[in-house]
Amino acid sequence: MLSSYLTMAAILFCIGLYGALVKRNAVIILLSIELMLNAVNLNLVAFSKYGVVPSLTGQMFTLFSIAVAAAEAAVGIAVLIALFRARGTVNADEYDEMRR
Amino acid sequence: MFNFNFSGEFVAFFVFSVMIISGAVLMVSFTRVVHMVVSLAAVFIGVAGMFVLLEAEFLAFVQVLIYAGAVSILMIFGIMMTKHQDSDAEQAKPLHETLTAIGALALFGILFYAIRQSDFPEPEQALTQGTDNTMEIGKLLFTGYVVPFELVSVLLTVAFIGAIVLAKKEAE
């Protein structure tokens, strides 16, 4: 059963990686990063139940990772809104200069 | 290789897997940005269901509250406050997309091979059954993980104040 969960998380991680590399809208890139983080959380919780030594440590790490991911999402959206105000676009491939 | 026993857990796992994978694939294939966020909410809820299957009920509720609630709404705010009318389809880069797909599939192949090759020994004793998952996590938070817990609260405060400062409208 553990390998099923690990395979599931690998599928989710690869779809998130594809989305983060292909999409142009920066909000969608942030969402794809959240997908990859979710895949990692799934692995942590699966190992916390089916690992060699089952314990709650994996769930604790997932809790901290969710908190850090929420902070990352808030700061990412704020940076995006500031960038949009300065440059007038959200497409990541148009952010190609270090300064105006 | 595929020695599945068709228990209730397997059926629930299958349902949640279909929910997660279809949501993620739809997220990649939709062209309207708002549709992508809605399909991603399905992925988050599916992951919460998997947490219930793995006896992590507290994490499942946290997942629903933070991901399916807060992060999705935050992303919709971000979309609404930026330009979102033009669809994502124009200026498609077929070579780039093909190469990325090949790379992602290759990574999945490596991961799948590694997962199939390694044998995971059965755990000696099961995860503490029948106890209150939330209470156990709370005890751990206030004994072994007190310092990281307080650091996370500092991190969240700093991050949200920073977000407000960044997104605040400049005086014209």
SS (H, E, C) B51-86: HHHCCCHHHHHHHHHHHHHHHHHHHHHHHHCCCCCC
Q: Pick the range with the lowest mean pLDDT from A67-76, B18-27, B35-44, B131-140.
A: B131-140
Residue B90 has pLDDT above 60, yes or no: no
Q: Inform me whether the C-beta atom of residue B126 falls under 8 Å from chain A C-beta atoms.
A: yes
pTM: 0.87
**DSSP letters of chain B?**
-------HHHHHHHHHHHHHHHHHHHHHH--SHHHHHHHHHHHHHHHHHHHHHTT-HHHHHHHIIIIIIIIHHHHHHHHHTS---S-TTSS--HHHHHHHHHHHHHHHHHHHHHHHHSPPPPPSS-S-TTS-HHHHHHHHHHHTTHHHHHHHHHHHHHHHHHHHHHHSPPP-
Q: Pick the range with the lowest mean pLDDT from A2-16, B47-61, B88-102.
A: B88-102
Whole-number pLDDT of residue B1: 46
Q: Which residue out of A15, A79, A85 would a mutagenesis test of the B interface target, given it has the greatest number of B Cβ atoms within 10 Å?
A: A15
Alpha carbon A93 to its chain centroid, in Å, reads 20
pLDDT tens digits, residue range B67-76?
888 888 988 8
Residue B3 has pLDDT above 60, yes or no: no
CB A40 within 8 A of CB B49: no
Whole-number pLDDT of residue A65: 93
- Contacts B13 to A, Cβ<8 Å: 1, 4-5, 8
Which of A:28-47 have CB within 8 Å of B?
28, 30-32, 34-35, 38, 41-42, 45-46
Q: Inform me whether the C-beta atom of residue A15 falls under 8 Å from chain B C-beta atoms.
A: yes
pLDDT tens digits, residue range A52-86?
878 888 889 999 999 999 999 999 999 888 888 88
Whole-number pLDDT of residue B92: 66
As a whole number, the mean pLDDT across chain B is 84
Closest-CA distance, A98 to chain B, in angstroms, reads 18
> Distance between CA atoms of B107 and A39, rounded to whole angstroms?
14
Q: Inform me whether the C-beta atom of residue A74 falls under 8 Å from chain B C-beta atoms.
A: yes
Confidence of residue B2 (pLDDT cuts 50, 70, 90): low
- Residues of chain A above pLDDT 70, percent: 97
Q: Which chain B residue shows the shortest CA-CA distance from A58?
A: B56
- ipTM score here? 0.88
Whole-number pLDDT of residue B87: 58
- Residues of chain B above pLDDT 70, percent: 86
Which of B:34-73 have CB within 8 Å of A?
36-37, 40, 43-44, 47, 50-51, 54-56, 58-59, 62-63, 66-67, 70-71
**3-class secondary structure, B94:** helix
